[in-house]
Each structure stands twice: as C-alpha cells, then as structure tokens.
Amino acid sequence: MTDWFQLAYDKEQEMVQTRRYLHQHPELSFQETKTHAYILQRLQQLNFEIDEKVGRNGIIARITGDESGPTIALRADFDALPIEDLKEVPYRSQVPGVMHACGHDGHTTILLTVAELLHAHQSQLKGTVVLIFQYGEEVMPGGAQEMIADNALMGVDKIYGNHLWSGYPTGTIHTRPGPMMAQPDEFNIIIHGKGGHGAKPHETIDPIVILAEFILSAQKIVSRTLDPVKQAVISFGKIEAGEADNVIPDTASCRGTVRTFETEVQAHIYHKMDLLLQGLALANDITYTFDYIKGYLPVYNHEASANVVKNAAHALNFRYQESDLMMVGEDFSFYLKSRPGAFFLTGCGNAQKGTDWPHHSPHFDIDEDAMKYAVSTFMKILELEGIFKD
C-alpha cells in the first residue's frame, strides 16, 4: 500500500513555500483574482481537466483513471478576511487590512499538493477525483451555492472537505457523524424612537433605553424558553446610537448573530425576538425594523463518510478524536446537502509555535506541520473510497 504520509512529508518544504506565498498575498471574498490565477497556473502544469470559471470565480479540476470507479470530490476555499495581520513573521500579509486569518491559504496548499500526488499516481487511479477550489466562503451568500448551481457536483458520488483548526493540537484529526457546525444567522435591529435634549427625557422616546431592554430580555430566550438539551447562541456584536453626550437620538441599532443546529430552534428564536420587539413597541409607542438573514445550513456529516474519515486517520496511525459540536458556520454544508460526504478538522494548534490563537484573530497562524496530515488523510480517504486500484 502507498505510504501517503511519507509522500506528503516529502513535499513539506514545497507546501510551506506555497502557503507562505498565499499568506503574503491574501484577497477578500469575491475579489480573489490573483489567487485564482495562481491556482490555475499550478493546475495547468498537471494532467487535469480544468474548468476555470465555475460560479463567479471557482476552479474545478478533474482527473480520471483508466478503469471505471467512483467519483469523489475534495474541496478547499481560498478567500481571506478584512483583518490587519499583526504577526511578526517574515511571511506576514503584504496587503494592508487583509490577511488569511482562518487557514484558507493552508487549505489551498493542501489541495494543490493532493493534485500533484494524484497526477503522479494517475496510472493507479480508477474512477475520477474532482478538486473544488472555492472562492468566497467567508461572506454570505458564499461561493458554495453558486458553484453547485454551476454544476460543480455534476457526476460526483461523495464529497469531503477539511479545515485546519487551531483549537486542536497538530497531528490530530477530528470529525463526527451528524451535526458538526451550526447555522450562522445574522440580524439587524433598529429602534425608531423620538429624540430630544438629554435634559428633557420626558419629551422623548429614548431608543437607547428600549434597545438595552431588548438586549437584556433576549438573553432569556435561550436560557429560559429553550429546552436545555438544545444548542443555541444569541450574541450581539455591534450597537450604535447617538452622536452627542447630551442628545437623545431618534434611533438606536444593533447587529448580532444567532447560531442553531435545528430549523425548529431557529424558528423559535426568531419568533421570540420578534415578540419581544412587538411588546416593546406597544409599551413604548415606538416602531422598529427587524432584518433577519438566514445563514449557511448547519454542517451535517453523513455517518458512513464520517466513518471513512475516522478509518483513514486510524489507518495512518494519527490521533483521532470525535469533534466537538461547534457554533461556527461553514458553507461546505451546501455540498453535504447535495451529496453524501463529511467535513473534518486537522489540528494545527501548537502553543510553542504560537499557532494556538483563535481563528479570525489578527495573530492567527497555523503550524505548517499540520498540512501533511491533511494531505495524507485526503489521500487515504480516496483510497478507502476505492479510487485506487488494488
């Protein structure tokens, strides 16, 4: 049997160079023109059938063996975030205010390395491997739905995806059957009151006080109206009101997120939030605007595919542990809605190397040693799915 870990280890220095180049040249979601060109240039050196404009800016690369077999897709994302890179490293971002703060540079590097290994072992292939390089994962509506609508999954039997994860130690593999990551909804609320002088609050309808009452009351939706065995989060991330210390403004607004795993829980929270606003409007003679934007679907792994990931990790003698339920969101969920498959996490956290910062931190980094674990896990998954000849 092929020693995929050794082959990935042999490519480690090349992977580091690729990842650091991508880290230095990040591009925001839906603006990834140079990254797209770089990926395309790398793939064109290999024996793949390439579709270079799937959705807006996605790339699909297919490689087929000389015998019939399954069609398995693997996916990586390549967009960055609007965050200033504060790391003191030679490969820090060269683009002000933009950085790879979630590991997508590593994901792209991993899939490019998988492409090279598949090219080198094409004579051993049966069936087809489809590599999906996706743009725009970080910003809704995301790139996944657009690529699926543009036939990214045409002919695909199963799909697998990987995410480097700083919360787990380097060299570990994590997944779980069923729900794994939540649905990340967003909301925007504006309280329309009546402004006036701060010295005469009785002549106003203070939207700040009413918004504060809503925020405090909303905390009870999860803790006091939801079955305790259900998982949900309501968090407020932005509050805006007023411009002067002695003026009560006409409006006050807030933005936040709701995270759930079940449609019924999502609907319950939305209904309770709206009821709270209706009550406040009636009691305080105000109006309000309530925009609720449903986010990506929850990531829901198919049990058989999650077991393939688990078996791949064990076959490679990697440390495997079932993933925690996570309140983060991922648009890989749309692929799993369309095809069987699984999403797994590869640990890249190493405190000694300073790579245990949380995702989306301006200090975020990955332990580059982790990439070879992801590459070899992908290759072993393909082997277990029958992509290679016996």
Please give the Cα distance from 296 to 298 (Å, whole number): 6
For residue 77, the 8-state DSSP code is E
Q: Quickly tell me which residue has 């059938």 as its tokens.
A: 49
Contact 363, 87 (CB under 8 A): yes
Q: Which is catalytic among the residues 27, 137, 146, 365?
A: 137
Pairing of strands 158-169, 341-349: parallel
Q: Whose CA is closest to 229, among 330, 298, 343, 325?
A: 325
pLDDT at 118: 97
Contact 259, 189 (CB under 8 A): no
Instruction: Answer yes or no: 330 catalytic.
Output: no
The answer to whether the annotation marks 360 as part of a ligand binding site is yes
| DSSP sequence for 283-301 | HHT-EEEEEEE--SPPEEE
Parts of the chain belonging to CATH 3.30.70.360: 183-293
CA distances to 125, 174, 310 from 390, in Å: 10, 27, 21
The answer to whether the annotation marks 254 as part of a ligand binding site is no
Which contiguous run of DSSP H or E holds residue 191?
A: strand 183-192
For residue 283, the 8-state DSSP code is H
Q: Which CATH architecture has domain 4-179+298-385?
A: 3-Layer(aba) Sandwich (3.40)
The answer to whether the annotation marks 268 as part of a ligand binding site is no
- Strand, helix or coil at 176? coil
Amino acid at residue number 50: I
Could you please state the CATH topology (level 3) that the domain comprising 183-293 is classified under: Alpha-Beta Plaits (3.30.70)
In sequence order, what E strands does 7-127 have? 49-54, 58-64, 71-77
Q: Which is catalytic among the residues 27, 32, 79, 367?
A: 79
Q: Whose CA is closest to 304, among 116, 164, 175?
A: 175
Q: Running along the chain, 390 residues long, what does each successive block of 10 average in pLDDT? A: 94 98 98 98 96 96 91 98 97 98 98 98 95 97 97 97 98 97 97 97 97 97 95 97 97 98 97 98 97 97 98 98 96 98 98 97 98 98 95
Rounded to 5 degrees, what angle do the CA atoms 45, 370, 96 make?
Answer: 75
The answer to whether the annotation marks 36 as part of a ligand binding site is no
Beta-carbon contacts of 217 under 8 Å, excluding residues fewer than 6 positions away, are 276
Parts of the chain belonging to CATH 3.40.630.10: 4-179+298-385
Counting every residue written for the chain, the total comes to 390
Instruction: Answer yes or no: 79 catalytic.
Output: yes
The answer to whether the annotation marks 23 as part of a ligand binding site is no
Within 226-329, where are the H helices?
263-284, 303-315
pTM of the model: 0.94
Rounded to 5 degrees, what angle do the CA atoms 253, 143, 369 make?
Answer: 100
For residue 236 the two structure tokens come to 């407020």
- Strand, helix or coil at 196? strand
Contact 163, 297 (CB under 8 A): no
Please give the Cα distance from 331 to 378 (Å, whole number): 19
Please give the Cα distance from 218 to 214 (Å, whole number): 6
Please give the Cα distance from 94 to 186 (Å, whole number): 31
Please give the Cα distance from 236 to 254 (Å, whole number): 7
Long-range contacts of 238-242 (CB under 8 A, 24+ apart): 239/211, 239/215, 241/207, 241/208, 241/211, 242/208
In sequence order, what E strands does 78-177 have? 128-134, 158-169, 172-175
Please give the Cα distance from 378 to 315 (Å, whole number): 12
Phi, psi dihedrals of residue 165, rounded to the nearest 5°: -135, 115
Please give the Cα distance from 330 to 299 (Å, whole number): 7
